[in-house]
A and B are shown apart, each in its own frame.
Chain A
Amino acid sequence: MFRWSDLTIRQKHIAWAWAFLAVPVLFYAVIRFYPTGNAILISFQDWNLLGSREWAGLDNYVKLFNDPEFWHVFRNTFVYLLLGTPISLVLSFVIAYHLDKLRFMHGFLRMLYFLPFMTSAVAMAWVWRWFYQPVPIGLFNNFLASFGIPQINFLNSTTNALPSVLAPAVWAGLGFQIIIFMAGLRAIPKSYYEAAKIDGVGWWTVLWEITIPLLKPTIVFIVVFSSIGFLRIFDHVFNMTTNNPGGPLNSTKPLVLMIYESAFSSFDMGYAAAQTVVLFVVLLAVSLLQLRILRDN
């Protein structure tokens, strides 16, 4: 008969470990791994939720690569990434760099910059959407009008809409990046700066020869983190264009919105699953690429 007291200390130890892990392992298997496999499987099937699941081979992927909407959306997604990541990286670095050198009201200023990070993307998307409205409603255009400057068509123009949607996303993430940069700046030993001071090196050289190289791990983290965020942009776009999601003329539509529409408006589950697989591959490739580039040189 099995008796707990017969077990050795090591066996008890193992039993405890597995007892602790039983529920979590089940959770990760059922809620993370099984769905991942299922998503890949569905991407090779033709299924509209009502009918039967039919094997479709590579049909969904072929359809995707021949779909002009997909390429448009793919381009948009990378525009979000290629505009959003550098802009937020430079802005947050410049702010953190100067804020770090300031003592007067330091805590208060840091709070102001961090506050937007604590807001909900949906709520702020609606606030910005209001700002962007034409006169007499929108705040920005009212402001411009009070100086006699011509109106800007923010959300209804195919060229302006994407940057307009991107702005609140950059704005909301800035505070987090500033805080991380400041932590990185504080971690640089003071002795480096003192040595540079003794050698009489200018601040520009100090910035490029000491600060930025030593901040590399922080920069890698922020670039990867914000890139993933911009590639997955959805909340802002969806809420700022609810009247015509991803519009005007698909000019703001990111990949995640296309996935959402394929799956939950057209109920083309196989097609949507194929898009999620593409998103996964893109995220993986972009993260690995950036880690490589930034680690190497």
Chain B
Amino acid sequence: MAVAEQIRPTTDALLKTEAPKRPRNLGQFLRWLLLFIGGIAMVMPIVYMLSTSLKWPHEVYNLKLIPDEPTIENYTYVLEDGRFYWWFVNSLVIALITTVCNVIFDSLVGYTLCKFRFPGRYIIFIAILSTLMIPTEMLVIPWYLMSQQFGWLDTYWGIMFPGLMTAFGTFLMKQFFETVPDDFIEAARIDGLNELQIWWIVAMPLVKPALAALAIFVFLGNWTAFIWPLIVTNSVEMYTLPVGLSSFGDEADVAWELIMTGAAISTIPTLIVFLIFQRFIIRGVVMAGLKG
């Protein structure tokens, strides 16, 4: 409690939000009102998805936002079916492993390109930068052939391997390591730490906000990834949530409230993460967007 009170002013200052003031004149009030209506309209699809997932079939097609008799029957039905449970686990495992890999390797490469001077540095820098230009869609065919050849089709590794490192993450981290003073690294060297220790113990803690921003981006990207998992998986139990939801929705005679429940299952985790770390995520998006 006390800690939270101490932290709050700092985070407020970082986001530069001043204390809320009530609108003073009619113009300001109209501006607020229109933005408020717009904001409510923006979240309506999400709200309707959640509300419909809690409705009985006979209520689904009325416009009521709050169900007359809310029920979790749809969730029980969908989860008892088992498939969504598997798809959820698959998505979670894949997104988590990929995130950890990106946080480690992108920051290691970013750090090396930023703090070391060695022959070949410039070439590697340009080479990694140039991969930003290559669209994923161009690579999916060769990746598919590669997976077929090595037996990676329909495996976790097959879904994950293309995203284990990203050029975007590498450049984001390189930018942030620029803010770590060379003196710190020099001092650590004199203290007898080896380069691996300097990176992990000295430099990494100094760029935690950037690491968190990267982690959020990578996690969200992999949680929602569609085209590659769609191509590389073919058995139902290997699908990720988006691929599973897509095939589930396409089945004949699936009720809309069940599709909405599936959609809710794949949306709720990221929404919860967002609501908890809201300020932090928005700051991360700005950092990643402007520096990356």
> Which positions in A face B, CB cutoff 8 Å?
13-14, 16-18, 20-21, 23-25, 27-28, 31-36, 38-39, 42, 95, 98-99, 101-124, 126-131, 133, 136-137, 139, 142-143, 146, 168, 171, 174-176, 179-180, 183, 186, 221, 228, 232, 234-235, 238-239, 242-243, 256, 259-260, 263-264, 269, 272-273, 276-277, 279-280, 283-284, 287
In the complex the two chains form, is A106's CB within 8 Å of B20's CB?
Answer: yes
* B105 at the A interface (CB under 8 A): yes
Contact flag A137-B61 (CB < 8 Å), given A18-B118, A120-B224, A179-B289:
yes
Interface SS of B by simple majority: helix
> Could you name 17 residue pairs across A and B whose Cβ atoms are closer than 8 Å?
A17-B112, A18-B118, A36-B142, A110-B282, A119-B271, A121-B226, A122-B226, A124-B267, A130-B52, A137-B61, A234-B137, A235-B226, A238-B246, A264-B144, A264-B231, A277-B138, A284-B133
**A242-B251 Cα distance, complex, nearest whole Å:** 10
In the complex the two chains form, is A180's CB within 8 Å of B290's CB?
Answer: yes
> Which positions in B face A, CB cutoff 8 Å?
16-23, 28, 31-32, 34-36, 38-40, 42-43, 45-46, 48-49, 52, 61-63, 105, 108-109, 111-112, 116-121, 124, 127-128, 131, 133-135, 137-146, 161-162, 164-165, 194-196, 199, 220, 223-224, 226-227, 231, 241-243, 245-246, 249-250, 256, 259-260, 262-264, 266-267, 270-271, 273-274, 278-279, 281-282, 285-286, 289-290
Q: A105-B36, A263-B141, A287-B133 are in contact. List 17 more A-B contacts (CB 8 A).
A: A99-B35, A113-B38, A115-B42, A118-B281, A119-B267, A121-B224, A122-B246, A123-B264, A124-B45, A131-B48, A133-B256, A228-B135, A242-B249, A276-B135, A280-B133, A280-B138, A283-B135
In the complex the two chains form, is A116's CB within 8 Å of B256's CB?
Answer: no
In the complex the two chains form, is B32's CB within 8 Å of A105's CB?
Answer: yes
Q: Which residue of B lies closest to A91 (CB)?
A: B38
**A222-B13 Cα distance, complex, nearest whole Å:** 26
Contact flag A38-B145 (CB < 8 Å), given A116-B45, A119-B271:
yes
**A110-B271 Cα distance, complex, nearest whole Å:** 15
In the complex the two chains form, is B137's CB within 8 Å of A276's CB?
Answer: yes
In the complex the two chains form, is B36's CB within 8 Å of A180's CB?
Answer: no
Contacts of A130 in B (CB 8 A): 52, 256, 259-260
Q: Which residue of B lies closest to A243 (CB)?
A: B250
In the complex the two chains form, is A269's CB within 8 Å of B32's CB?
Answer: no
In the complex the two chains form, is A24's CB within 8 Å of B142's CB?
Answer: no
Contacts of B42 in A (CB 8 A): 112-113, 115-116, 171, 174-175
Contact flag A103-B143 (CB < 8 Å), given A126-B259, A171-B42:
no
